[in-house]
Amino acid sequence: MTLQNPTTPQKKNVGILIFPEVEVLDFAGPFEVFSRTRLEGGVASRRSEDSAPFEVFTVAKTMDEIQAVGRLRVTPTYSFATVPNIDILVVPGGFGTRPLLEETETLDWIKTVGQQVEQLTSVCTGALLLAKLGFLTDKQATTHWGAWDMLNQIDPSISVQRDQRVVMDGVVTSAGVSAGIDMAFSVVEAFHGKAVADETAHYIEFLRRG
Amino acid sequence: MTLQNPTTPQKKNVGILIFPEVEVLDFAGPFEVFSRTRLEGGVASRRSEDSAPFEVFTVAKTMDEIQAVGRLRVTPTYSFATVPNIDILVVPGGFGTRPLLEETETLDWIKTVGQQVEQLTSVCTGALLLAKLGFLTDKQATTHWGAWDMLNQIDPSISVQRDQRVVMDGVVTSAGVSAGIDMAFSVVEAFHGKAVADETAHYIEFLRRG
């Protein structure tokens, strides 16, 4: 079942930022969605990269192993120094975002890359970092329910959408943790249409919500 | 908000098996759910382990870094040789389960541990491994839709439930990938009640389905 002409000109690079105390599902959900998306449907197409429209990788400040929330041990594919060009940047959340709000090197990296990418996205409290850098000024956005007020404390111009899982206003932000899966499907749909997004949701048996 | 007396006698150890080409969300979903469950609700309780009823860790044949599906790099917390006692075993799926069907050391480990645990569970095609070891004989069970037939080829006595995301028949099996999140919540509910499971679902903004 060909959902879209698989000879797309070029794969998009999806870079997923990871850092100490990143929330596991915040980065693993979008990783799963983008890396399993295929323009050719079914199970067999997932055994190769032939019809994969995205190249997905993690990136961190250094190549050191990261301890995520709950002590999951993850090693990034690239560091800030070695990462290739990113087309879609995913900034996840987790308790680790709070120290990052004061961490110049990571903030500078997000600012530089965020200005260059085709699509900037966040999951959960990753939105706090985007707000801190001015990416959400005068925009509609959302974050984990526990951080709604903090998002507006960082930037009062943000119109916080408390009743939506995914908010697309130039930057794509999502509600907490599992809403990052919905966010990723929204981006897949924006790039490759609803049929591709829905077929990948069927493959991972995820029931998409509006 | 205390959902259950937090002075439970002892934490349950949740061991999540990982292996080359394990599906990312298959292990990361249950890891997220079990590791974020708290008997004291709210955001602040997630900053400590005080009311955590589960101790969650990954385990693999050796301590070598694992390359999951999509090339996510994960290092196990324990190897078969060093892992502590497991109360709840999660066997995830992914293309990596197919070679494991012929891999004696891992099968022997799952068989031994699976007979000792309080609760044996699988996500997605992890059910193929349980079927191969006879854990699902004469039981109702499920797996990823792409492996329904294979599950019955391995053990024709299994009553494959094609319309359920989670099947609890002594062993707890789930449908594909994202259904592992539902599976984990079903186990949390079985151990600690619906209020605890629902509050954790609210924390990770996951909409539970029946």
pLDDT digits (tens, 9 = 90+) for A76-94: 999 999 999 999 999 999 9
Contact A106, A100 (CB under 8 A): yes
The CA-to-CA distance between both ends of chain A, in Å, stands at 25
B27, B73, B95, B182: which to substitute to probe chain A, counting the most A Cβ within 10 Å?
A: B73
CB contacts of B17 in chain A (<8 Å) are none
- Of all residues in chain A, the one with the smallest CA distance to B179 is A205
- Of all residues in chain A, the one with the smallest CA distance to B47 is A95
Sorted by where each starts, the structural domains of chain B and their CATH numbers stand as 12-114+177-203 (3.40.50.880)
> Residue B6 — pLDDT band, cuts 50, 70, 90?
low
Give the number of A-B residue pairs with CB atoms closer than 8 Å. 111
pLDDT at B209 over 80: no
Give pLDDT, residue B15: 98
Enter the ipTM: 0.95
pLDDT at B3 over 80: no
pLDDT at B1 over 70: no
Closest CA of chain A from B146, distance in Å: 7
Is B177 in contact with A32 (Cβ distance < 8 A)?
yes
DSSP state of B77: S
On the CB side of B178, how many CA atoms lie within 13 Å of its CA?
24
- Of all residues in chain B, the one with the smallest CA distance to A33 is B25
How many Cβ atoms from other residues are within 10 Å of residue A153's Cβ?
11
Contact A139, A159 (CB under 8 A): yes
The residue type of A165 is R
pLDDT tens, A109-151?
Answer: 999 999 999 999 999 999 999 999 999 999 999 999 999 999 9
In this structure, what are the phi and psi dihedrals at residue A13, rounded to the nearest 5 degrees?
A: -85, 120
CB contacts of B207 in chain A (<8 Å) are 209
Interface check for A144 against chain B (CB to CB < 8 A): the answer is: yes
CA gap B19, B58 in Å, rounded: 10
On the CB side of B100, how many CA atoms lie within 13 Å of its CA?
30
Name which of B63, B67, B110 is nearest B82 in CA terms: B63
Contact B198, A169 (CB under 8 A): no
pLDDT tens, B49-68?
Answer: 999 999 999 999 999 999 99
- Of all residues in chain B, the one with the smallest CA distance to A49 is B70
- Percentage of chain B beyond pLDDT 90 is 94
- What is the number of residues in chain B? 210
The residue type of A77 is T
Average pLDDT, chain A: 95
pLDDT at A210 over 60: no
With H, G, I as helix, E, B as strand and everything else as coil, classify residue A57: strand
Interface check for A177 against chain B (CB to CB < 8 A): the answer is: yes
pLDDT at B210 over 60: no
